[in-house]
Structures are given as C-alpha cells and as structure tokens.
C-alpha cells in the first residue's frame, strides 16, 4: 500500500513587535487608508490580490532599523514613572532629529525605490529658492512619507492591535490578566499642580506656612483652595503648558488602562516582566493539552538578555523519566542544549542592536542549570508528576554559583511534594512556603502551597488538587524551571 509522505510545514512568522528587528514586509499604514495597490503583473492569475511591496528597503530600511532602539527609548521616556515625571517632549525630539537626518540622507525628490548615490555630495535645497509648485509638491510628499514612517514604527511595537486577530489571543491574554479597576480620571488643574514635580515643593512649603495645623476634615479643601490660588498666579503660558501636559498624561494613562483591560501586549518593562512571571502558568496547561492530544513530550526554552547583560531564562517541561524532567534526568545533555540555544539568543540580541558586551553564556548556563543539582530533602513523599519552580539570575561577568539545589519531583504518585526551591547566587536554598506576588501568582489556598505540583490548579489545569486526593496515574503536570 502506498504510503503518504508527511510534509514538514514551515509556519509563517513575523518578527515579534517587541523585537527591534523589523519585519521584512510592510503591508499597511497606521490608518489603513494608504495601501499603494499596484497594477496586476502580467502573467499573474486574475482574482488573486498581489501583496503590497515594502515601502522601505535598502538604505532606508537599514536606517530605520538603526533608529528603532532610539525610538523605543524616547517612547518609554515619555511615560515616566508618575505625574509630571515623564519627558513629554522626548518623542517629539526624536521625530525632529530623525526627519532632519532622513531628509539629509534621502532628499525629498528621490523616489522610494531609488537609492542615493553614495559618491554624490548632498545638495541642500533651500525653500526660498524653490518655486511655489515645488514647495507644494515637497510638502505633500513629505507629509505622506512621514505618515508612512510613523505608521511603520508604530506597527513594530507589541501594542499593535493585530494581536487580536491571533486565534490564540484569548489564551495569550491570560499573561496579562488584571483585576477590575476604574479608569483613570483626569485631575483638575489645581490637583495636577499640587502633584507636579515643578510646583510640588513650593506648594507644600507654602501650605505648611499658611496652614501649620489644618483640621483633618478641612485639609483637602484647603489644599485645593491654595492650589487654585497658585494656579491663578501663573502666567497664561505656564497655565496652558500645565494643562497640555496634564491632558497628555491622562491620554497616556487612559491608553495604558485600555490596553491592560483588553490584556494587550505592552512595551512597558514592568508589564513584560509580569507576563514573563506568568508565562509558565499559562504555557503549562497548553503543553499538557498538546501532549494529551499528540503524545509528544515537550520542553520549551525561552531566554533574553536583560539590563546589564544578565540572561533571563525560562523553561517549561512536560514529560518525565521516572518522575524526573529532562534537566534533572540528564543535566549534562540539557546544559549542552541550553548553551547552544543561548548562543543563538545572543546573536538575536546583537541583531536587535542591544548592548550585550557583558553577557556570558557560560555563567548563565551555570546559574540556571548548575553541573551538580542536589535534590532538596523534605519530609513526606514527592509526587511522581510533581511541579517545581526555580529561579536564577545570571550575573554579568561575575563568578557563577558553585552550588545550588532544586526539587527533584520523584517518588510515589499522590504524595506530598516539596515546596518550590529557588536557586540563588549566594549559594543558598530558600524554601518558599507562602504566595508571592513577585512571582506573578495569585493568592492560593494554603494546601496549594503545601503541594506545589498543584499550583497549576489555580489556573484550571489540575482538577485533582486537594489535600489527600491522589492524582490518577498518567496525569502529567508541567515541571517548571523558571529563571529570571
């Protein structure tokens, strides 16, 4: 009987929005109205719409890639850490500098499909020397191109709403699930002045002088009255600037709130860290389900290079040998795989323009997966399909930890497993007996902290999570080796 050969498919992928390496195809603009549709190419089948060509190629594309980290820095600086603390002009300054360099490199008369001559001397064309017709043409062309460029940069951000079309978005959104809260309210001008870093000290000093011992029930009213008085003493220009800054910050806060409520991706480092902390809890059930459907054994490795060259490594494993995950069953082999993977991650970060001069693959491997992994001794019997959670940090150019230990979830099914063990750089072993929001976990019933293999139960994975209730044979629970 003739067999059917199974063709290995290649998934269509695009660069993640938070990866500074831009996607090679740019099919639409920020408002979707400027599609640059082309005439059908001779020989092409009718009825099939041809994909739009990338607006930016060659030297233009390379220049935009170089400017991506600068753009992200300016975008984050605009947010700041509190009211009045953000650099509201950071993004405006970026665009001003960017376009000054752009028009110098790529004169407005040059078509997008034309490369500038590297040997030609740039000739600056002054507006006063141009005809009215050329000035109008220049203005129209620059406005359209600015729109395309800003749209391109915006689409590289992880906040792109295209994530909603991802069929796995409902599941991915669990990475950023938040408690319900009210939307941010816009402060009055007087309230904003009281909290603004430029006026806060002067306001507090004056309030203390005018009201040394204000009655508690009148304190807020007196503060607002004084702030209103100080606001009236400002010039019209300062009042307008304060009002504009307040409105901008409220707009940013409102957008962030809407993104959080909709569980959209974010470029905020703190939000991304929360999502990384939650990743194992979200990915574990998915891998467990895939194993149930396919019979595959899984080990997912994830890594990035953070600030100071520190590696941030995470691993989720489904499948075991005698109760041991891959990292415990054959540590040496796992270290070799991890080493090769981190070398690849290092190159990805280089392509993204990150400074990785202090990053050390060897130290990261030794910290996340030490050569000798001693099992933590505990009372009771570990569960066959128990779950362990370990964390580690790979220091930049510092000696790696000499000794570290982790839970080895081997033993008889249905027993009590040890609490999660954290790998620390100080060669210490710390048992975590209670929930910690730093790990991105919700408050769990006490028995789930006595049974860390049941942590996944808080996310709907393990229905047998209960004291004294054995899990049926074959119920695989992901083993998490979680580093940050």
Segment among 259-263, 422-426, 434-438 with least mean pLDDT: 422-426
Q: Are residues 396 and 450 in the same domain?
A: yes
Q: Could you tell me whether strands 311-318 and 298-305 are parallel, antiparallel, or unpaired per DSSP bridges?
A: antiparallel
Segment among 26-35, 54-63, 351-360, 419-428 with least mean pLDDT: 419-428
Q: Are residues 373 and 226 in the same domain?
A: no
| pLDDT at site 79 | 59
Whether the pLDDT of residue 323 is over 60: the answer is: yes
Q: Please write the tens of the pLDDT for every residue from 209-253.
A: 999 999 988 899 999 999 999 999 999 999 999 998 888 888 877
| Residue 230: inside a domain | yes
**Residue 159 CB partners (closer than 8 Å, separation 6+):** 17, 259, 264, 265, 266, 267
| Residue 165: inside a domain | no
Whether the pLDDT of residue 340 is over 90: the answer is: yes
Q: Are residues 313 and 431 in the same domain?
A: yes
Q: Please write the tens of the pLDDT for every residue from 176-185.
A: 665 445 667 8
| Residue 20: inside a domain | no
Q: What is 103-166 written as a DSSP string?
A: HHHS-TTS-TT-PPPTTSPP----GGGS-HHHHHHHHHHHHHHHHHHHHHHHHHSTT-GGGGGS
When pLDDT is cut at 50, 70 and 90, the band that residue 87 belongs to is low
| Residue 212: inside a domain | yes
In terms of Cα–Cα distance, which of 29, 30, 79, 1 is closest to 253?
79
Q: Are residues 152 and 292 in the same domain?
A: no
Q: Are residues 420 and 281 in the same domain?
A: yes
Q: Is the dihedral of CA 391, 397, 401, 402 positive or negative?
A: positive
Half-sphere exposure at residue 28, Cβ-oriented, CA atoms within 13 angstroms: 8
For range 5-33, the mean pLDDT: 38
- Domain endpoint, select from 135, 157, 179: 157
| pLDDT at site 122 | 66
| Residue 7: inside a domain | no
For range 187-195, the mean pLDDT: 89
Burial class (CB in 10 A: 0-12, 13-18, 19+), 102: buried
| pLDDT at site 399 | 35
Which contacts of 68-73 are long-range, i.e. CB under 8 A and separated by 24 or more positions? 68/20, 68/22, 68/153, 68/156, 68/353, 69/20, 69/352, 69/353, 69/354, 70/94, 70/98, 71/98, 71/153, 72/20, 72/157, 72/267
- Domain endpoint, select from 107, 140, 157: 157
- Which residue has better confidence, 470 or 286? 286
Q: How far is CA 377 from the centre of its chain?
A: 37
Segment among 61-65, 426-430, 445-449 with least mean pLDDT: 426-430
Q: Are residues 93 and 210 in the same domain?
A: no
| Residue 33: inside a domain | no
| pLDDT at site 436 | 36
For range 439-464, the mean pLDDT: 35
CA distance 51 to 476: 44
CA distance 126 to 108: 12
Q: Are residues 75 and 103 in the same domain?
A: yes
Q: Are residues 231 and 280 in the same domain?
A: no
Domain containing residue 424:
269-482
Three-class SS state of 247: helix
Q: How many domains does the chain have?
A: 3
Q: Are residues 149 and 202 in the same domain?
A: no
CA distance 420 to 68: 39
| pLDDT at site 86 | 54
| Residue 209: inside a domain | yes
Alpha carbon dihedral 142, 143, 148, 154, in 10-degree steps, equals: 120
Q: Are residues 101 and 236 in the same domain?
A: no
CA distances from 278 to 68, 439, 477 (A): 27, 7, 16
Whether the pLDDT of residue 7 is over 90: the answer is: no
| Residue 293: inside a domain | yes
For 411, phi then psi, to 5°, come to 150, -155
CA distance 267 to 274: 12
For range 42-62, the mean pLDDT: 54
pTM of the model: 0.39
Helices (H) and strands (E) in the chain, counts: 13, 7
Give ∠ CA 31-36-39 in degrees, rounded to 5.
150
- Domain endpoint, select from 203, 227, 261: 261
When pLDDT is cut at 50, 70 and 90, the band that residue 270 belongs to is confident
When pLDDT is cut at 50, 70 and 90, the band that residue 130 belongs to is confident
Q: Are residues 256 and 331 in the same domain?
A: no
Q: Are residues 438 and 318 in the same domain?
A: yes
- Which residue has better confidence, 161 or 167? 167
Burial class (CB in 10 A: 0-12, 13-18, 19+), 325: buried
């Amino acid at each position: 009987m003739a067999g059917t050969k199974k063709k290995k498919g290649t998934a269509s992928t695009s660069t993640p929005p938070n990866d500074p390496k831009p996607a090679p195809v740019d099919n639409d603009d920020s408002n979707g109205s400027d599609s640059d549709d082309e005439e059908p190419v001779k020989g092409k089948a009718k009825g099939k719409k041809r994909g739009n060509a990338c607006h930016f190629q060659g030297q233009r594309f390379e220049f935009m890639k170089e400017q991506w980290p600068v753009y992200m820095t300016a975008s984050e600086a605009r947010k700041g850490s509190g009211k009045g603390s953000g650099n509201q002009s950071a993004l405006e300054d970026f665009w001003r500098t960017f376009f000054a360099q752009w028009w110098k490199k790529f004169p407005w008369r040059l078509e997008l499909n034309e490369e500038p001559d590297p040997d030609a001397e740039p000739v600056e064309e002054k507006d006063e020397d141009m005809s009215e017709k050329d000035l109008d043409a220049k203005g129209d062309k620059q406005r359209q191109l600015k729109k395309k460029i800003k749209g391109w940069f915006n689409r590289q951000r992880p906040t792109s709403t295209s994530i909603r079309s991802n069929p796995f978005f409902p599941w991915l959104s669990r990475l950023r699930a938040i408690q319900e809260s009210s939307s941010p309210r816009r402060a009055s001008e007087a309230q904003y002045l009281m909290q603004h870093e430029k006026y806060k000290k002067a306001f507090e000093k004056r309030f203390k002088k005018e009201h040394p011992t204000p009655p508690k029930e009148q304190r807020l009213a007196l503060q607002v009255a004084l702030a209103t008085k100080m606001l009236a003493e400002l010039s019209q220009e300062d009042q307008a600037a304060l009002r504009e800054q307040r409105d901008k910050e409220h707009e940013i806060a409102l957008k962030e709130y809407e993104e959080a409520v909709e569980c959209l991706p974010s470029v905020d480092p703190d939000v991304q860290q929360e999502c990384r902390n939650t990743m194992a809890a979200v990915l574990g059930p998915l891998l467990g389900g895939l194993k149930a459907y396919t019979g595959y054994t899984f080990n997912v490795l994830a890594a990035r290079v953070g600030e100071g060259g520190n590696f941030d490594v995470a691993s989720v494993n489904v499948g075991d040998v005698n109760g041991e995950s891959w990292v415990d069953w054959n540590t040496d082999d796992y270290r070799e795989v991890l080493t090769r993977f981190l070398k690849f991650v290092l190159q990805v970060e280089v392509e993204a323009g990150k400074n990785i001069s202090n990053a050390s693959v060897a130290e990261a491997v030794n910290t996340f997966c030490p050569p000798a992994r001693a099992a933590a001794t505990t009372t009771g019997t570990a569960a066959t399909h128990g779950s362990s959670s370990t964390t580690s940090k790979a220091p930049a150019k510092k000696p790696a930890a000499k000794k570290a230990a982790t839970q080895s979830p081997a033993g008889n099914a249905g027993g009590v497993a040890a609490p999660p063990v954290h790998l620390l750089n100080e060669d210490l072993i710390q048992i975590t007996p209670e929930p910690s929001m730093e790990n991105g976990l919700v408050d769990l019933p006490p028995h789930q902290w006595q049974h860390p293999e049941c942590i996944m139960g808080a996310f709907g994975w393990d229905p047998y999570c209960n004291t004294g209730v054995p899990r049926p044979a074959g119920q695989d629970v992901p083993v998490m080796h979680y580093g940050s």
